[in-house]
A and B are shown apart, each in its own frame.
Chain A
């Protein structure tokens, strides 16, 4: 660990304000998501704790606002701040889980395509090409309308969209990796293919995925928000940030702006933080730019 703090990576991190802002945002969100729900009095999903008398309270600094509801309340008397903490939890959960699943499936398919080549490669990569010729959100929308709504359905749709970028990257690195002499040395040593892939190819194709994975969490949060906003994402019982925006959207122009603007700001800060940090990682991990 000491060597990490003495490393060039950490040195550059300290000097990059965008990396610090980005990671600070990411850490605050991670913190808010993990412990936030324990800090707020109200559980916005617990109907019993809601009071219709509290509906549409403005943020606390506006006339009529109450300290109990710092960012105001929505039509059911839900605390917007508490909803954001719970909603970010769902948004991030979806983003991270879908990223892990995409990364796993994409990496495996990319390794197989790159290592074995031939017809397997052609099939996998043509599917990837076709997918890439449509906007992700369109494919996700299409899938959602086919399979129905729900957190699990959103995860499936995002994974179906997300694996392609890993598969392509991994396939490319695998192709250049298997030309390397140490892979040939492993063949001469008599290693079977699965060991060559596991010990020699896989560890050397992972680095570029770190950047893709980081940025993809942000992308997924946005896609999920769009799906939910369009009404085909998560169910009303598990409101993500996107659904919060949608719910508040109907009353946005009747002066009750806070119910959708604050969740929107939350998404923006989350995705902005992820992208800032992702860009820093990209510069650091790409030896060609150095």
Chain B
């Protein structure tokens, strides 16, 4: 185990993924770095269009033209995925890293039975024989809370409800016992009562199997309940990261603070919510200096001139801000 402690399970270094579109270069991910240790859950949050999904696709090597990984390293167990070939990536997908998408229908093939789709994962990534694979599929379906699993294996995706389908997708993602699961808004399309079941299930499965997870979502409440640490993206850049409790209780970046403050709070009702003014700048046409400055209550002249870098703040936090908040600061 000493060897594994030397480097984290996944280490993303200075990742840049750009889309070269007709109307300009979209720097969807622009210099993002983070680490995930064995058994950890990292929350990746941020505004819509902030680059969260592109980070996930980059790790899996699923960026298609006009997109390209321009720079950076993605080290999985010390091995760089950016320079790995398509064959190596295909082997890693499913076996070492698997993905759960927001819409379960896009990752399930409507023409094949659930059993066949599960079996295929095992056939590709394990040496089990047909009997053993069948048993493994049944066990996995049962462990995600689907009863009468051996019958259900013969069903087609459309015969399941939305919540059940997402359970199937999670079962498939866990089948080959991958070390890392990337879950992109896994519960956004589901109702709260079902969301809470699915999240519980994911947490429990990850703990049991010792896997790590990147949980991509725009819902701070969900990550705060699920994640060990959180990375906040804004316009393709990490603006803040740190342990969940530090980041939620005393964020140091004004954007994180604004996000947290704008969630309506059941215990402390004011008439007006605190709000972040303005809207996200056009990602093809970012302002000089800090990307957040036009919406930031703390911005000063320096923010327009120089881009802030990720610097250590109080507690476990690192934030990219010239005028970060200390615990207890207001606005």
Contacts and interface: CB of A to CB of B under 8 A. Distances in A.
A129 interface: no
A283 interface: no
B23 interface: yes
Contacts of A8: 22-23
Nearest to A9: B22
Interface string B17-32: 0000011000000000
A128 to B, nearest CB: 28
A8 B66 CA distance: 14
Contacts of B23: 8
A11 interface: yes
Interface in A1-43: 8, 11
A11 B22 CA distance: 9
Nearest to A7: B22
B189 to A, nearest CB: 19
A8 to B, nearest CB: 4
Contacts of B22: 8, 11
Nearest to A12: B22
Nearest to A11: B22
Nearest to B23: A8
Interface in B1-59: 22-23
Query: Size class of B's contact patch?
Result: under 10
A8 B22 CA distance: 6
A289 to B, nearest CB: 14
B65 to A, nearest CB: 12
A212 B23 CA distance: 28
A217 B166 CA distance: 48
Interface residues of A, number: 2
Interface string B83-103: 000000000000000000000
A283 to B, nearest CB: 14
A8 B20 CA distance: 13
A11 B24 CA distance: 13
Nearest to B22: A8
Contacts of A11: 22
A193 B23 CA distance: 38
Interface string A153-164: 000000000000
A229 B311 CA distance: 81
A8 B23 CA distance: 8
A11 B21 CA distance: 12
Nearest to A8: B22
A288 to B, nearest CB: 14
A263 B142 CA distance: 72
B24 to A, nearest CB: 11
A11 B23 CA distance: 11
B155 to A, nearest CB: 29
Interface in A112-154: none
B326 to A, nearest CB: 45
A274 to B, nearest CB: 26
A73 B3 CA distance: 91
B305 to A, nearest CB: 32
B20 to A, nearest CB: 13
Interface string B123-149: 000000000000000000000000000
A4 to B, nearest CB: 14
A84 B246 CA distance: 82
B106 to A, nearest CB: 14
B209 to A, nearest CB: 38
Nearest to B21: A8
Interface string A220-232: 0000000000000
A264 B23 CA distance: 44
B231 to A, nearest CB: 31
A280 to B, nearest CB: 16
A17 to B, nearest CB: 19
A236 to B, nearest CB: 53
B319 to A, nearest CB: 38
A3 to B, nearest CB: 13
A8 B24 CA distance: 11
B214 to A, nearest CB: 29
A179 B201 CA distance: 36
B21 to A, nearest CB: 9
A14 to B, nearest CB: 12
B107 to A, nearest CB: 19
A9 to B, nearest CB: 10
A8 B21 CA distance: 10
A76 to B, nearest CB: 56
B22 to A, nearest CB: 4
A41 B22 CA distance: 50
The 3 A-B pairs with the shortest beta carbon distances in the complex, nearest first, are A8-B22, A11-B22, A8-B23
Interface of B: 22-23
Interface of A: 8, 11
3 contacts: A8-B22, A8-B23, A11-B22
